[in-house]
């Protein structure tokens, strides 16, 4: 690649790999424990974890490091430990859950919505289990005595950091961003950065072929179907969970509907709402397994098909760096069915047909760094070979390690599936059912 010299150092690669792996492992563990608290069997818990890892946009953000998966980890941790407090009245659990939700505020201020969602879930669960009046108020007071001081500390830390960085306790970086951009470009609308027509962002997140949450997280469709058919048989905490996090998903869509960059721009799907979408989507698989007899054979087969489609969508999301379709759309125009275009890109690249099929557009070549990364499979061995800066023995060694690790992962998944299908994980395992 000539004088190309912009890729990260080995230190950056190691930090990125280890951090992403740690976040992924912790999220899987918390998801597993949360499903256990909800009374799912071990096999259903495993299915739920795999659904999160391989059937939602979580997989994309394990490779494309943004704050999304970290936010999901903290939200699920807060939910898990605070729900554990609801069941056991463990003060320690409530402290841990509150700290996780408080730490989320330091990541992105809009995660205050996640905090409110968890509180609403707790209250709704108590309500659905028949708690009313003085008993309900007493539990709320008990919660506030422990959680509010913890949340107040994190809220204060957020404001102190805001003052240190921007010189104001009350502003947010979005307000300052809008002000600075309008100084640079006086022609920007007065409402910038919330100047978009509401319907553009709202319908965009729901039905557009470029960003629809139902296309990028197909398990949302399964969650809707299973909920409609088996709602009366759901346990109180599951009803509370679905109501709460569907409301959270809607709240995020509404909040970002008028934002200038409502779609998340260079992202796979709508990254601002993806975390809430994942929380609703992944639980559809353990629910399908639990209520298989209730939903009937047709829905069961439809569910299996949606799981398969989800796996294909998410695996395709990591094959290329996501801006490849964004550059192509500068030539092809809008709207574009991004997932279909991604599958076409994978096939064309595998067959060496990018030029013949008109997919190697001029817009892709404007930035040499981007062009180097969007014209090869987005995995370390292929990127090292494409850039051409690493020694040959390094590329060959990394490639061998990568393929060996991939083979080991496939073998492990096959082993887990065999034991799960045989019911061996559930045998002798205590359940909360």
What DSSP string describes 243-284? HHHHHHHHHHHHHHTTSTTTT-SSSSS-TTTHHHHHHHHHTH
Please give the pLDDT value at position 37.
97
Tell me the mean pLDDT in the region 118-129: 97
Question: What confidence tier does 428 reach under pLDDT thresholds 50, 70, 90?
Answer: very low
pLDDT score of 122 more than 60: yes
Residue 373 lies in a domain: no
Tell me the mean pLDDT in the region 339-349: 95
Tell me the mean pLDDT in the region 156-181: 85
Please give the pLDDT value at position 427.
54
> CA separation (Å) from 307 to 209, 240, 241, 373, 389?
20, 24, 21, 29, 40
Please give the pLDDT value at position 377.
93
Number of domains in the chain: 1
> CA separation (Å) from 119 to 94, 140, 249?
12, 9, 15
Residue 418 lies in a domain: no
Among 62-76, 79-93, 366-380, 412-426, which stretch is predicted with the lowest mean pLDDT? 412-426
Please give the pLDDT value at position 365.
86
Mean predicted lDDT score pLDDT of the chain = 91
Please give the pLDDT value at position 378.
92
Please give the pLDDT value at position 166.
80
Residue 324 lies in a domain: no
Task: Identify the residue with better confidence: 173 or 191.
Answer: 191
Q: How far apart are the first and last CA of the chain?
A: 59
Please give the pLDDT value at position 390.
80
Interatomic CA distance for residues 20 and 243, integer angstroms: 30
* Residue 26 structural domain: 10-317
Tell me the mean pLDDT in the region 97-125: 96
Tell me the mean pLDDT in the region 229-239: 97
Please list, residue by residue across 173-189, b when 16 or more beta carbons sit within 10 angstroms of its beta carbon and e when fewer do: eeeeebeeeeeeeeeee
Interatomic CA distance for residues 222 and 205, integer angstroms: 18
Please give the pLDDT value at position 74.
97
Closest CA to 257 of 206, 305, 306: 206
By the 8 A CB rule, do 98 and 82 touch?
yes
pLDDT score of 421 more than 80: no
Please give the pLDDT value at position 362.
85
Residue 28 lies in a domain: yes
By the 8 A CB rule, do 224 and 218 touch?
no
Tell me the mean pLDDT in the region 291-308: 97
Please give the pLDDT value at position 433.
37
Tell me the mean pLDDT in the region 31-42: 97
Contacts 24+ apart (CB under 8 A), 158-167: 158/105, 158/106, 158/109, 161/106
* Number of helical H runs and strand E runs in the chain: 20, 0
pLDDT score of 10 more than 80: no
Residue 394 lies in a domain: no
Residue 231 lies in a domain: yes
Residue 334 lies in a domain: no
pLDDT score of 220 more than 80: yes
Residue 54 lies in a domain: yes
């Amino acid at each position: 690649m000539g004088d190309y010299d912009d890729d990260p150092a080995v230190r950056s690669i190691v930090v990125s790999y280890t951090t992403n792996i740690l976040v992924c492992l912790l999220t899987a563990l918390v998801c597993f424990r949360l499903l256990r608290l909800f009374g799912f069997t071990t096999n259903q818990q495993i299915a739920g974890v795999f659904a999160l890892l391989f059937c939602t946009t979580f997989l994309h953000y394990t490779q494309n490091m943004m704050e999304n998966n970290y936010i999901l980890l903290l939200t699920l941790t807060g939910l898990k430990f605070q729900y554990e407090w609801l069941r056991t009245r463990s003060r320690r659990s409530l402290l841990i859950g509150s700290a996780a939700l408080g730490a989320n505020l330091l990541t992105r201020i809009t995660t205050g919505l996640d905090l409110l969602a968890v509180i609403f879930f707790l209250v709704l669960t108590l309500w659905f289990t028949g708690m009313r009046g003085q008993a309900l108020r007493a539990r709320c007071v008990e919660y506030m005595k422990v959680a509010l001081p913890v949340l107040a500390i994190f809220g204060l830390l957020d404001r102190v950091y805001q003052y240190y960085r921007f010189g104001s306790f009350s502003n947010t970086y979005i307000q300052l961003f809008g002000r600075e951009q309008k100084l640079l470009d006086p022609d920007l609308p007065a409402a910038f950065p919330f100047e978009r027509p509401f319907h553009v962002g709202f319908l965009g997140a729901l039905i557009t072929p470029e960003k629809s949450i139902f296309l990028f997280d197909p398990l949302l469709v399964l969650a809707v179907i299973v909920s409609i058919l088996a709602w009366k048989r759901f346990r109180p905490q599951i009803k509370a969970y679905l109501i709460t996090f569907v409301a959270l998903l809607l709240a995020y869509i509404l909040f970002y509907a008028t934002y200038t960059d409502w779609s998340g721009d260079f992202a796979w799907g709508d990254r601002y709402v993806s975390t809430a979408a994942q929380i609703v989507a992944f639980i559809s698989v353990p629910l399908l397994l639990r209520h298989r007899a209730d939903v009937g054979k047709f829905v069961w087969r439809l569910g299996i098909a949606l799981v398969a489609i989800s796996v294909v969508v998410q695996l395709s999301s990591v094959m290329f760096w996501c801006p490849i379709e964004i550059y192509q759309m500068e030539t092809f125009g809008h709207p574009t069915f991004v997932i279909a275009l991604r599958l076409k890109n994978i096939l064309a690249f595998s067959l060496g047909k990018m030029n013949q099929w008109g997919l190697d557009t001029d817009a892709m070549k404007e930035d040499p760094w981007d062009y180097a990364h969007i014209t090869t499979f987005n995995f370390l061995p292929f990127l090292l070979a494409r850039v051409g800066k690493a020694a040959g023995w390094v590329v060959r060694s990394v490639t061998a390690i990568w393929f060996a690790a991939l083979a080991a992962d496939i073998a492990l998944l096959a082993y887990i599936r065999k034991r799960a299908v045989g019911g061996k994980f559930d045998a002798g395992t205590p359940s909360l059912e």
